[in-house]
Amino acid sequence: MKQKKSLKLLVLFMVIISLFISACSSNETSTDKKDDKEEKTLRILSSVVGGKTPEENDLFIKEIERLTGIKVDLVKPPADYSQKLMASISSGEKFDLLLLTKNQMDILVDQGVLTELNDKIDTSKVLADSTVIPTDEWELITYDEGKIYGVFNKFEGGTLPIVRQDWMEKLNLEAPKTLDDYYNVFKAFKEQDPDGNGKDDTYGLSTAGLYDIQGFLSAAGVKYRYVIDEDGNRTIPISTDAAVPVFEWFANLYEEGLLDPNFATNDSGKMRELFLTDRVGVVTYWDAWVGLFNNIRQTEDPNTTFEAKGITGAEGKDGKIMLRRGDPSVWAIPVNAEHPDVAMEFLEFWHSEEGNILSTLGILDHDYTLTDGKYELTDVGKEHSMDHGSPIPNNTNFENPFGLLPGVEDAQELILANSSLEVSTADWPQAEKIIQNYAFKAMTGEMPAKEAVEKMHKELMDAGLIDK
């Protein structure tokens, strides 16, 4: 009897053990399955990347999620992006990706709030591929000791004078090469009624403040931003006597009404509006906007004679032209990011063909349709000019199904042949305020150019923002 009882107890014990093991196994399987299906999430702070409206931004987010499987929270402030960016960083708000200009990245690198990405880039099959991002491009955003803190958002061209070529042809004008040539063109645009409305309502030149007058500073062979010599000494050439003749030239334009009188307070939107509404003949802006200007007007009126064209800046005494290569825009991962690996996964997607299509054409069945391999822009897509944050991707393997917009390729060639990257540092925002103050006084004739430059230079020196 004892043996039978012991046997029953043994069997019962084995059953209990078996059930316990089965339960543990079941729990482990359930947990594993839960981990496998755990949702990938990403929180992004962006300026230009995304939809054109809040409603379209929601569609853009859904398109990212469809293409990547990543649940995205895309924060896109309607205005004052730089202020929102810095406020978020200061408060410790957490984002996995930040969209930055090179100048903003300089500041945040100095503050130690960005993640070094060298190892992640080196081990990425996409980002380490020199046909996706050319090796020499990385040099534009490499810091001391070869450290990299960002991945490109797009290929940045540069800024240059953009002219109403249809006005040039109408008035039988030749492309300007010197400051005197530009003066003559501006004078014709002001006085010879290029828009044909019989009114004295056009200007030769408009800018958005000092953005970007480098093409005219070219005549004096000086740069707008920092130049740092081999010993680390910082200078800002626009604050030297060499820039005085250019400021005097601007003052003359202003006095004669050839320069838009609101240039100092214009934002880029206002400047673009003047150009698109036949109020001004030349603006200083991005090479990509040559194509965007043309596309906007041609979309509004296929029969328009409007033609924007990029032209060289003013030649210096040595015949050289100094245009500005654009500050790179980059994606960066903050050190407090909660999902850095997912952020890198997104960056690899962004530089893939699918990502390139999204950043240019936009959203499937909203901006474009795809039927049997053939792309077609919708009316909305045509209005958006194939720009959803990266009109020209870095990926050299990518070919836009519709090609580049009219005039962009020629403008880009001018930039690549005649430009260099201007140096930004963490001190630049403070220095720029001083430069703008005295530059505007010189350009409007409020202060003699030589006096304005002397005071500009002294104030920069006193503030410790330049070394000589």
Interatomic CA distance for residues 211 and 263, integer angstroms: 10
Instruction: Grade residue 14 by pLDDT with cuts at 50, 70 and 90.
Output: very low
Q: Going by DSSP bridges, is the β-strand pair 40-45/97-101 parallel, antiparallel, or unpaired? A: parallel
* Res. 37 pLDDT band, cuts 50 70 90: low
Give the pLDDT mean for 349-369: 97
Domain 158-325+419-462, what fold?
Answer: D-Maltodextrin-Binding Protein; domain 2 (3.40.190)
| pLDDT, mean of residues 271-294 | 96
Question: Residue 26: pLDDT above 90?
Answer: no
Largest Cα–Cα distance in the chain?
Answer: 122
pLDDT band at 257 (very low <50, low <70, confident <90, very high): very high
The answer to whether the 40-155+328-395 and 158-325+419-462 domains have the same CATH topology is yes
Name the nearest CA neighbour of 392 among 185, 154, 151.
154
- Report the distance separating Cα 254 and Cα 223, nearest Å: 22
Residue 462 CB partners (closer than 8 Å, separation 6+): none
- Rounded to whole angstroms, the Cα distance separating 405 from 400 reads 10
Mean pLDDT of 164-168: 98
Mean pLDDT value of segment 25-54: 71
Q: What percent of the chain has pLDDT over 70?
A: 92
Each residue's pLDDT tens digit, 331-345: 999 999 999 999 999
pLDDT at residue number 156: 85
| Tokens representing residue 404 in the block | 């580049």
Structural class in CATH, domain 40-155+328-395: alpha beta
Between the alpha carbon of residue 440 and those of residues 168, 250, 293, 337, the distances in Å are 28, 10, 27, 41
Q: What is the mean pLDDT of residues 261-269?
A: 96
Distance CA 98, CA 114 (A): 10
For 212, the 3-state DSSP assignment is coil
Q: What is the mean pLDDT of residues 84-96?
A: 94
Residue 118's φ and ψ, nearest 5 degrees, are -55, -50
d(CA 14, CA 18): 6
- All structural domains of the chain with their residue ranges: 40-155+328-395, 158-325+419-462
Q: How confident is the model at residue 7 (pLDDT cuts 50, 70, 90)?
A: very low
Tell me, what's the pLDDT at 140? 86
